[in-house]
């Protein structure tokens, strides 16, 4: 593991992230899911944000309500008064991200900005609630996350987008590549399109640059153990009990 370069990463062992609160049972990104994870001892949660047509910041993964709720439509096209009526798995309401910050004051949040209109409202919310040490902002778009960093400054923890991860991977092979200054971690899949991303070389390069490595989304105990053996700094999982067991067996559940 590498030492923390931002208060968000101040954790004494490998960071366990409850991915969407622990999405295995189908109530992802709901207050109930995050409450269950908190009760299991998790303090790091992963979520996603979209904005409604009237500018409310919703914790939800998909652009549409169709896949996991009993409603239909694009969140960006609907007002909050309609979105709030949707139920995940037919029973759990969608939360505003501000509500989650209030409901879990001791939690730290990894937030994936799913669409450009959510960027400024998220930064404004972090600023208004003084949640600088509680939120790390990520996105597949390096341009989007770089803009978040420019707007907020060094108080905001950010991870690399796809372009940044590619640059880090190239550098791990000794190939020159540009890297954005200011990121505190690389959040990556184990593999992408059949190409291995996380190996000992990648972890070593990230650590040499003071970056933590967080891997998503890992649900099998054997894969968790292999990644821990490589020295990764965080694992995101849908199966929160499995990850807790693996870390506990290693004396790494903090």
Percent of the chain at pLDDT exceeding 90:
96
**Is pLDDT of 74 > 90?**
yes
* pTM reported for the whole predicted model: 0.96
In CATH, the architecture of 7-249 is Alpha-Beta Barrel (3.20)
**Phi and psi torsions of 96, nearest 5°:** -75, 150
**Which region among 3-12, 77-86, 167-176 has the lowest average model confidence (pLDDT)?**
3-12
**pLDDT (average), residues 32-51:** 98
**Is pLDDT of 4 > 80?**
no
- 169, 154 in Cβ contact below 8 A? no
**pLDDT (average), residues 9-19:** 97
Give the chain's mean pLDDT: 96
pLDDT of residue 193: 86
Task: List pLDDT tens digits, range 117-161.
Answer: 999 999 999 999 999 999 999 999 999 999 999 999 999 999 999
- CB burial class (10 A; 0-12, 13-18, 19+) of residue 72? exposed
Helix 162-172 to helix 142-152 angle (10° resolution) is 100
Closest CA to 127 of 101, 88, 90, 95: 101
Comparison of pLDDT for 1 and 204, the residue scoring more: 204
Q: What is the C-alpha separation between 107 and 246, in angstroms, rounded? A: 21
The catalytic residue positions are 19, 61
Task: List pLDDT tens digits, range 180-199.
Answer: 999 999 999 999 888 899 99
The strand pairing partners of 112, in sequence order, are 48, 138
């Amino acid at each position: 593991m590498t030492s923390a370069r931002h208060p968000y990463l101040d954790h004494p062992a490998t960071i366990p992230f409850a991915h969407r609160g622990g999405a295995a049972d189908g109530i992802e990104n709901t207050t109930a899911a995050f409450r269950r994870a908190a009760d299991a001892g998790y303090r790091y949660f992963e979520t996603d944000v979209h904005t409604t047509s009237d500018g409310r910041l919703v914790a939800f993964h998909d652009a549409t309500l169709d896949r996991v709720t009993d409603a239909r439509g694009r969140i960006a096209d609907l007002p909050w008064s309609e979105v709030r009526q949707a139920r995940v798995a037919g029973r759990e309401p969608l939360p505003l991200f501000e509500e989650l910050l209030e409901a879990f004051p001791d939690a730290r949040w990894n937030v994936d900005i799913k669409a450009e209109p959510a960027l400024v409202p998220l930064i404004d919310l972090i600023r208004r609630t003084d949640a600088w040490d509680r939120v790390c902002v990520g996105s597949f778009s390096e341009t989007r996350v770089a803009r978040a960093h420019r707007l907020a400054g060094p108080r905001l923890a950010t991870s690399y987008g796809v372009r940044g991860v590619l640059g880090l991977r190239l550098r791990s092979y000794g190939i020159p590549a540009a890297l954005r200054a200011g990121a505190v971690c690389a959040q990556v899949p184990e593999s992408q399109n059949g190409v291995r991303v996380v190996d000992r070389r990648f972890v070593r390069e990230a650590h040499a640059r003071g970056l933590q490595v967080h891997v998503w989304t890992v649900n099998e105990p054997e894969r968790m153990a292999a990644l821990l053996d490589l020295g990764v700094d965080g694992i995101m999982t849908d199966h929160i009990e499995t990850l807790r067991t693996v870390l506990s067996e290693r004396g790494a559940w903090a």
